[in-house]
Amino acid sequence: MPGKQPSTDAVGHHYEFDPRAAVQHLCAADAGLARLIEVAGPFRMVIRTMHSPFEALARNIVYQQLNGTAAAAIHARVLALFGRRRLRPRDVLDAPDEALRGAGLSRNKLEALRDLAAKTLDGTVPTLARLKRMEDEQIVERLTQVRGIGRWTVEMLLMSRLGRPDVLPVGDFGVRKGFSIVYRTDGLPTPKQLTHYAERWRPYRTVASWYMWRAVELPPGALRPDE
């Protein structure tokens, strides 16, 4: 949460919470999740460095609906247009459409990047320093004003870039699928059902969500019901 001293685990991941305390809390609060944690192993969510919200969101826009290899190639070509390692808002606003489209950006992505650049310069998109002091819902409200940036995108930024402890991406297929595996539900839970159940996971819903993703990766039968 904003203002809390970050925690660093044994392999150097930086979180805004103590992951050991989070796992202990979740195991005590939810027997089904405790079984999953035992099988899936230690919490190891990677926190990626964020130099600026603009850079992180620009990368996300480029990567939307593309496989990683294709997206990385387009992102590299966009950066190459300006001869630098990091994209700046003014680069995007000043570059001709033809140059950016020639790098592989679709019309929709070009318009989204320009909107992101404009909203960064006018202050709608906060600076990194400001972002770190804001509450989760404040960040969602501000960043979803940008064309092409939805709630899920901001939730991923909160989790994997800012290391926030209590994010629950109820619209994420992997989280919902993992829930159905762990709790043996008929079909995927609705966002409302998931929200209701996950109240017991507070204030560490990020950690529980990460373990739902791990449940999807486990081999069939890895999670056995209680004897």
Type of residue found at 172: D
Burial 190-214 (b: 16+ CB within 10 A, else e): eeeebeebbeebeebbbbbbbbbbb
The dihedrals phi and psi of 37, each to the nearest 5 degrees, come to -60, -40
Q: Is 122 annotated in the active site?
A: no
- CA gap 72, 192 in Å, rounded: 35
Which residue in the list 91, 172, 186, 226 is annotated as catalytic?
172
- In contact, 58 and 87? CB cutoff 8 Å: yes
Angle ∠(57,1,51) on CA atoms, nearest 5 = 30
- C-beta separation of 225 from 182 below 8 A: no
Active-site residue set: 172
